[in-house]
Amino acid sequence: MVLYIYSNVIGAFVFNTDLRIIDKLLFEDKDIVNNALRLENNEWLDEEKKLVKKHGHKIIYLGKKQTELKGIELSKDDKFELVNERISQIPNFHQMIRKAGIIITKNKIKNSVKQDTLVIQAINNIDELDRVANTLVKRLREWYELYLPEFSKKLRDNEKFVELVLKKKKTELLKEINISSKKSMGANLDETDLRPITELAKRILSLYDLRKSQSDYLELIIKKSYPNMYAITGSQIGAKLISLAGSFEKLAKFPASTIQLLGAEEALFRHLKTGAKSPKYGILHEHPLVTKAKPSEKGKIARALGDKISIAVKVDFFKGKFIGEELKKELEKKFIKKKK
């Protein structure tokens, strides 16, 4: 028996020598395909009907696997060939397929926005806000130092600095750092010259607020969608892991050792290329268990963390039970007890 296989974005079609579609396998759900095709003014269905009329082919909807093609026995002797040329004899066929393909792809894109996409956007934005706020604070400090240099030098905490600049007057701030107004090297600025400085401070404060509310939002989705991972990593590290992996699905499929090293790619490749020391942890160095550990223990803890996170994300991905608390306790038992 000679068979022709024609494959496009919608599915795979099996034709016999008479160009009859004797079987097909749709890559998408029947409903989605039919929906996509119907959207295009029934063109596809019309054409399909013409095809049936012309060739009298039989359409069988199948499962997802090619080996499950029903009604046809496939052997090594069967010849599979692409029949693009012969198919293209059907008027508008390619155009139709193209249109349907676009619709199906659009649909896929639309439905591809999942929780992890939002997580990645949120964590990247939080990082960006940090950077932006830091840049603007540097500028604010430089500007404000014309007015009151001693205060900026004394208070290194950026957020507090911005808050106090807005809250307190020069005389109050000078009192706080015990410097007389005469001794201060700051110039006297009048209201007009001071306003742009305080306006800048207001914007920075509002960026800090946004950072906080976006961290809350991030915590909300992570806690809800990935409870097991959240139990071990918290929201920030969890989000960074998803972002570094590219998606939650990818993260769930990574082995523990990859998770352990996520975020240390540069050091890892340097190790592979130049034989430099191999990294022991990537983003996990931010985890409290690692930060609190002795340097000699850090690598070990990161490995254990990678193991447990790897289990947790797999359970989350397959919507398993909540075992995060257990995993966390095992880790703490192992490493916090040891310290005492």
Please report, as ranges, the residues that interact with its own copies according to CB under 8 A: 39, 106, 109-113, 117-118, 121-122, 124-125, 128-129, 131-132, 135-136, 139, 142-143, 146-147, 149, 182-187, 189, 192-193, 195-196, 199-200, 203, 206-207, 210, 213-214, 217, 220-221
Buried b (16+ CB within 10 A) or exposed e, 307-326: bbbbbbbbbbbeeeeebbee
Distance CA 336, CA 340 (A): 7
**135 vs 278, beta carbon nearer its own copies:** 135
The residue among 137, 125, 308, 135 whose CA lies nearest residue 230 is 308
**184 vs 260, beta carbon nearer its own copies:** 184
Neighbour tally for 141: CB within 10 Å:
18
Distance CA 165, CA 195 (A): 12
Residues with Cβ within 8 Å of 149's Cβ and at least 6 positions away in sequence, in order, are 184, 185, 186
Shortest Å, Cβ 118 to its own copies: 6
CB burial of residue 259 (10 Å; 0-12, 13-18, 19+): buried
**149 vs 227, beta carbon nearer its own copies:** 149
Shortest Å, Cβ 319 to its own copies: 20
Shortest Å, Cβ 218 to its own copies: 8
Shortest Å, Cβ 123 to its own copies: 11
Neighbour tally for 166: CB within 10 Å:
12
**243 vs 310, beta carbon nearer its own copies:** 243
**88 vs 117, beta carbon nearer its own copies:** 117
Amino acid at 243: S
Shortest Å, Cβ 164 to its own copies: 19
Shortest Å, Cβ 115 to its own copies: 9
H or E, element range at 44 = helix 43-55
**17 vs 213, beta carbon nearer its own copies:** 213
Distance CA 214, CA 246 (A): 20
